[in-house]
Amino acid sequence: MHRLPDSEYEKRLDALEQLMKTKGVDATYISGGTSFAYFVGYRYLPTERPAALLIRSGRDVSFFGPVMERDHILKQSKFITRTFTYLDYPGDVHPMKKFAKWLVEMKMNGKKIGTDNPSFYSSPWGYKGLNLGELMPETKFVNIGAEIYDMRITKSENELSLVRESVRWGRVAHEYLQSETKPGLFDWEASVIASLNASRDMKKALGEDYVSTSASPLFAHAGFRGQVGEHSVYPHSLGIGRPMKQGDMLGTGASADVGGYHSELERNLFLGKPDDKMRYYHKIVLKMQDAAFSAMRPGNPCSEPDKASFKVAQEYGLTDYVLHHTGHGMGLEGHESPFLDVGEEVHLKAGMVMSLEPGLYLPGLGGFRHSDTIIISQDGAEWLTDYPRDTDSLIIE
């Protein structure tokens, strides 16, 4: 399976209707692209052009947005029942004024409307909004964004199937990456080759009707994110100017887009045999990861795995080299809440999908981190990613 059945969206819309009843709102105004995908399976590329869904009881869904999306909507989602469109932004009339007009036409003036975003639309592309609440002073807008977000935290069996498929193709991409990586290549060269090969395999296996849900031309991806040699010490390195060379320790990452869902696989690779210091710290990070996994049980607060991992670093006197928490939720986005963090008291529940990624970053030596995808089960946790973690399996000679 590489997409969700219609019944999944029907359940979500019904759950949203129940939330609206609980909150006493007459409709929900949604402007976040991830929520578009979650509730009706529609992928919108957010630009300066504002868009929204108005969802009412009975799975009544209306789209407000640019006319360029009208035919695209009808192709992607059967759950959008009507469309209201404008030509472009900013236009002769600001789109938000048109949104207010359309809401009045739908007899929503003076009603109580829940919203996922009190700004009514957010974009990094230069959008400057008008406040819909000020344009409709008789209408009460209620922020229910947290409740809408929480609906995504635990995954259904259908969603978990997509995550498992993502894990499968993330491994394939990483296998290609390990086989293609060699001294003299730039990290991006190995990444492009590996990602292309894995994407070809994925498309061939999943069939003609499989499509990516993003603008990326590659379905599966594996690469280094600049974590090459001395730059492996930076958890979020942007790049390094030189080719890879013998003796480099590398930080990798791999995933795949399956129905919009993601997974995470990260490893250290070694170009040539690592020295004793590298082996020593590499094993400690594996102990940190194992300790955190032992605390990933339903009912435990999300802080417990982070504390367990940090305790191992304390035992070895290495807490100064811990630069981030132990993991995060995943699903339609690469990072979702809750977080495996000392300050996170949300409790783990069956159906949560988490990354498990403690790390140590030692200047002058490198960054040591693996990341694996974990599903919280009814009585424990399932370690999905099965790529080797031991040092010797990750050596490229």
Sign of CA dihedral 107, 111, 117, 118: positive
129 with 278, same domain: the answer is: no
Looking at the domain assignment, is residue 38 inside a domain?
yes
Question: Residue 389 in contact with residue 370, Cβ under 8 Å?
Answer: yes
DSSP per-residue codes, 186-214: -HHHHHHHHHHHHHHHHHHHH-TT---SS
* Ordered per-residue pLDDT tens for the chain, 397 residues: 688 999 999 999 999 999 999 999 999 999 999 999 999 999 998 899 999 999 999 999 999 999 999 988 888 899 999 999 999 999 999 999 999 999 999 999 999 999 999 999 988 799 999 999 999 999 999 999 999 999 999 999 999 999 999 999 999 999 999 999 999 999 999 999 999 999 999 999 999 889 888 878 899 999 998 899 999 999 999 889 999 999 999 999 999 999 999 999 999 999 999 999 999 999 999 999 999 999 999 999 999 999 999 999 999 999 999 999 999 999 999 899 999 999 999 999 999 999 999 999 999 999 999 999 999 999 999 999 999 999 999 999 9
Looking at the domain assignment, is residue 1 inside a domain?
no
189 with 83, same domain: the answer is: no
Pick from 120, 150, 180: which residue ends a domain?
150
Pick from 150, 172, 192: which residue ends a domain?
150
Pick from 150, 171, 190: which residue ends a domain?
150
* Domain region containing 12: 6-150
111 with 202, same domain: the answer is: no
81 with 146, same domain: the answer is: yes
- Length of the chain in residues, anyone? 397
The CATH number for 224's domain is 3.90.230.10
Looking at the domain assignment, is residue 177 inside a domain?
yes
137 with 218, same domain: the answer is: no
27 with 142, same domain: the answer is: yes
335 with 303, same domain: the answer is: yes
186 with 304, same domain: the answer is: yes
- 40, amino acid identity: V
60: β partners: 56
H helix runs in 79-150, sequence order: 95-105, 132-135, 145-150
Question: Residue 356 in contact with residue 374, Cβ under 8 Å?
Answer: yes
134 with 241, same domain: the answer is: no
Question: Residue 252 in contact with residue 174, Cβ under 8 Å?
Answer: yes
269 with 204, same domain: the answer is: yes
pTM of the model: 0.95
The CATH number for 129's domain is 3.40.350.10
183 with 285, same domain: the answer is: yes
Specify the 3-state DSSP secondary structure of 169.
helix
DSSP one-letter code for 124? S
305 with 218, same domain: the answer is: yes
Q: For the chain, state the CA radius of gyration.
A: 23
Looking at the domain assignment, is residue 372 inside a domain?
yes
Q: What CA–CA distance (Å, rounded) separates 84 from 71?
A: 12
Query: Cβ neighbours of residue 343 under 8 Å, at least 6 residues apart?
Result: 303
Q: Count structural domains, the chain.
A: 2
For 160, the enclosing helix (H) or strand (E) is helix 157-180
